Amino acid sequence: MAEMNKEIKELVDLCKPVGHKNVSTLDTQIVELPIARLIPNSENFYDTTDLMDLKESIKEHGLLHPIAVTELGIIISGERRWRAIGQLLSETGDEQYSKIPAVVITAENPTEQEMMLIEANSVTRVLSSYEIAQQAKRYDELIAEANETDIRLSIDLDGSGKADVATGCGFLDHMLNLFARHGRFDLAVKCEGDTYVDYHHTVEDIGISFGKAFKEALGDKKGIVRYGDTTLPMDESLILSAVDISGRGGLYYSLEIPTEKVGDFDTELVEEFWRAFACDAGITLHIRRLAGSNSHHIIEGSFKSVARSLRTAVSIDRKFADEIPSTKGLL
């Protein structure tokens, strides 16, 4: 469980639990929070006026459902209930309306917080046509934002094997460090993505960015050897890779990794990474497992083998330094 923000911790400490342990929330309790210290959500586009019927219901039956707030005290769901309680306090002076039952929910980021706002409001009351349309439009935008990754990547093909890698995925960091070392490429990668969901977007998007950066670093390709292949042993594993800097991106993959995971890393993402890289780099890439039973060794062998094959392919053939290695005159 994430550590509570100091301010909301003070709020929770001030309040008494009022039962219920049926939700996945902070301490899995409903607590009573002072209404004066809660904050309306600036992203809330739902109608919070016309509270007369709601106030009458609260006076007669009490508040039937708690509101939901973040650890900062920002209201995720229940702003109409909060406003109705506040108006009742102003109109009656009755201290029973000075606090409101709430669950405290941990939102990983502002995007997730707003998605929770929409999800909660979509099922708790009848919405107007405008609210339904606005809700659908904004939710699609938030899904797109949640899937985005912020990547900063650079590569020097004439480097010494230095790497500065922080992707948010430890296993991928390890593989990219090995790639740089065995290819003698200088590589810098910084990524912020939705790794709190899984590593899929991060791995695939880094593969895309890596491929584009590699293609750009190749320049006009004059004098490059173009082809490279490596058969690399990694303990019991034996991995073959072959590359052609052809300008025609494609992956031909037969790695056959025996387990679904290595640690918290989904092994199916290895293929996603290499496909994204090959297609965006414009490289024909073959990767094949000739032997091996250890998933970590097989994957590590693929990164080392491809790196060494690429090191050969991008090297300059001094005899043909001013020529494009293709009868077509371009790659």
The CATH architecture of the domain made up of 150-320 is 2-Layer Sandwich (3.30)
CA atoms lying within 13 Å on the CB side of residue 213? 18
What is the tens place of the pLDDT at every residue in 269-325? 999 999 999 999 999 999 999 999 999 999 999 999 999 999 999 998 877 766 666
This prediction's pTM? 0.57
β-bridge pairing 284-291 and 237-244:
antiparallel
Query: Where does the pLDDT of residue 18 fall: very low under 50, low under 70, confident under 90, or very high at 90 and above?
Result: very low
Token pair of 47 as six digits: 């109608």
The answer, yes or no, to whether residue 23 has pLDDT greater than 50, is no
* Residue ranges per structural domain of the chain: 6-146, 150-320
Is 84:50 a contact under the CB 8 Å cutoff? Answer: no
